[in-house]
Amino acid sequence: MIDTDSAVKTVNTSSNANISNANTAAVRAISFMQLWRREWQVKQQGAVQWLYPLVLFLVIITLFPLAVGSEPALLQRLGVSAVWIAALLSLVMGVDGLFKPALDNGTLAQLVVAKASLPLWVLIRLVIHWIFSSGIVAALSLLAVPLFQLSWFEAWILMASIITGSPMLLMLSAVASSLTLSLKNGAVLVPLIALPMQLPVLIFATGAVDLFATGLNGLPILALLLAGSIISILVMPWVIAMTLKMAWLN
């Protein structure tokens, strides 16, 4: 009888543990979906804020050929760099409102008090921001075909370089934005902090497109950019979350 009771207790304990683990997993799934749904709705409501960087990108790539001239050889030589510089400037311009509104309206405080996963929230916020910024910019980069006389092959490689390199650029800009969050005029310092770290990405990305344009293999450079973006996505949200928590405590 003693052994039977012990076996029954063991079975009940393991069943309760399995139910508890299942409930915990369900809560985490619901929390993820709630965070994603909320951030998606917030992004859609603030359409004006994320439209400004896109308009800036379109203005730069449209006015650049008019300023340089209509010589096809010159446009083809400068087209990739012009599109990438426009993409970088539009990305830096849109990061000043990543975390500041959440700190001002109390969203960050609610997440900290509720012991929610700040790295998960940061990652969701940055992924949605990337979709509405660099994701659209990557598609708009195909306008380089009529504006800069690039071939469709070069345009597709240019779009691929933006897709692989822009996540790393966004993470670096987000780090700079979180570091200047508690400063009064921190938005002015974000480009000064982020741009020196982003210049190597710009150089490698444009170099990869140039290699493909000359018939060489630029896949190793694109793979390097993709690896850097993946590492940034895995590491940077934790760094940004700690910085945001410190800014909230101060």
Digitized pLDDT (tens) for each residue of the chain, 250 residues in all: 434 444 434 434 444 444 344 444 434 434 677 778 877 887 777 666 778 888 889 999 999 888 887 788 888 888 999 999 999 988 888 787 788 888 878 788 888 887 778 889 899 999 988 998 889 999 999 999 999 989 999 999 999 999 999 999 999 999 988 888 877 766 778 888 888 889 999 999 999 999 998 888 889 999 999 999 999 999 999 999 998 888 777 7
- Nearest to residue 244, comparing CAs of 191, 186, 180? 180
Tens of pLDDT, residue by residue over 215-249, are: 888 899 999 999 999 999 999 999 999 988 887 77
Is residue 126 within 8 A of residue 170, CB to CB? The reply is yes
| Six-digit token string for 168 | 């790393």
Buried b (16+ CB within 10 A) or exposed e, 12-33: eeeeeeeeeeeeeeeeeeeeee
Long-range contact pairs involving 49-54 (C-beta distance under 8 Å, separation at least 24): 49/94, 49/97, 50/94, 50/129, 50/132, 50/133, 52/93, 52/94, 53/90, 53/91, 53/93, 53/94, 53/133, 53/137, 54/90, 54/133, 54/136, 54/137, 54/140
Interhelix angle 152-179/219-249, rounded to 10 degrees, is 20
**Is the Cβ–Cβ distance between 194 and 176 less than 8 Å?**
yes
